[in-house]
Each structure stands twice: as C-alpha cells, then as structure tokens.
Amino acid sequence: MHKTIQDIVNMKKEKRKISVITSYDYTLASLCDKAGIDVLLVGDSAGMVMLGYENTIPVTMDQMCMFTEAVSRARKNSLLVSDLPFMSYQASIEDAINNSGRLIKAGADAVKLEGGTTMAETVSAIVDVGIPVMGHIGLQPQTTMLSEGYKVQGKTKETAMKLIEDAKELEDAGVFGIALEMISHEVAQIISETVNIPTIGIGSGVNCDGQVLVVQDLLGMYDNIRPKFAKRYMDLSEDIVKTLEDYKKDVESCIFPAKDNWFSMNEDELKKLREQLGS
C-alpha cells in the first residue's frame, strides 16, 4: 500500500522531513520508489528534461498523462502527485476539474498547480469534487518566467507579505501541501511555521517541511540548466558518455558481441544445414 495524503500531512505534525523527487519515466521512478522516497512528483519540467523544450509552456495534458501513467506503473510505496500544465486550469474552473480528473485517471493521487490567491477558488472547486491539490507559489515557471525571469521571490517586505497571504489562502482553499520555489529562506521559514500543511522547498532553504529535486539533476544527467539549489550527488552524464564510447569501440573492433553474448545452433543441426546447402 503506497503512502496517502494523510501520511504526508502527518509527517509535518511529527516533525519528520518529507523527501520528494521529480521523476517522469518508469525506470527511474522504480528506483526512486525502491529507495523509499516519500513523494514522486511528475512535473511539467518533463517538457525540458524529457522532450527538449526550452521551457514548460508547450507541455500538453496528453503528455502529462503519459508521464503520469509511466510513473504510476512504477511506484509501489510513494505518493504520486502530477502537475497540471500551462493553460490546463487557468481558463476556467471546468477545465481545471476535467484535467485534474484526467491525471487522477492516469494514476496520480493528487494534482499540483501554480498560483496563490488568484487560484484559491479553482483549488477549492477541485478539492470539492474529491481531488487532492498541492499548491505552488514563489517562482512559478509557467507564468513568472514570462514576466520576471529566473529571480528569487520574497526579498522585500511587500513581496514577502504577498507570499504569506498566498500560502494562507491556499491552505484555506484546501490544499494539502504547498511547493515553495526559490523563495528567500527567511520567508519560506515563516510560511512553514504559519501554515498547518507541509511545505516542500525548491531552493527555499532548510526550514521547509520537505525538499524536492529533479532526479536527473540529482544524478548529474541533465546539464542544460544547473540551478544553484540542485545539489548533484553524482555526475552520471560523464560515466554514461564514457560507457557509450567504450561500447562504440567494442563494436568497431569486434570485441562485442563475444561468444557469451550470442546464441548457437545444435552442432548436428548445423551439420545437416551445411550438407543441404552444399557447403
């Protein structure tokens, strides 16, 4: 039985830190789940990491459902949360509910959407139909990047107060947790101490209730963007390239495949075949 929303909420009450990994495919999600990660997040960052887009804006619902299905088949223990992509929930509450339902049908336990007070009514409507929602404030890649660029949020009193208000509004609307992306660590701490639901930090300091990293960033597999907050635990990309170069050399020199890597006929059958072919 995999973790539930209540399990994650209880972790905050018990002052236990929550581990979250953003994953998009069956193979890596299986390993994350096996490692005991608390929450698997199918982020719309899949558009960049898996599909090569410059940002998350082109990501579609069909693509998010495909990634969600793959991760859902992999997980056995983790909670699974999936992002609602750009313009899948902003235009209308009806869109938000319908598209949230699609992700749940694809295997998610909950959905995540970006926005604070402006999204509170939408969040409430989704929660009212029985679909759990995680909020996301601070840097919001779907929209903030269009106007402000890649900047730390909550560095002035005014912006800090707005973020705190956003968090409270989202909690009142019914979210079970909030992702805090690139918020100054002081403001992230205030938010985490103010709300009664878990906060998950993305470059927002150690005082959040949990932390999230993209698994490819953690493993050193994705070099296009290297944010300050993404700690690298390995440099797999170098090892992978070196291994592929070794494979190429083995093929070119006929070292691979070796006898252990191929299959053979029965000697008697081979003899009969050669006799029939006249060789």
The catalytic site residues sit at 181
Long-range own/partner contacts, residues 213-218 (CB < 8 A, 24 or more apart) = 213/20, 213/21, 213/22, 214/21, 214/22, 214/43, 214/45, 214/49, 215/21, 215/22, 215/23, 215/28, 215/32, 216/28, 216/49, 218/21
- d(C-alpha 21, C-alpha 71), whole Å: 12
Helix, strand, coil percentages in the chain from 3-state DSSP, rounded to 5: 45, 15, 40
Token pair listed for 229 = 């907050």
Strand partners, 80: 40
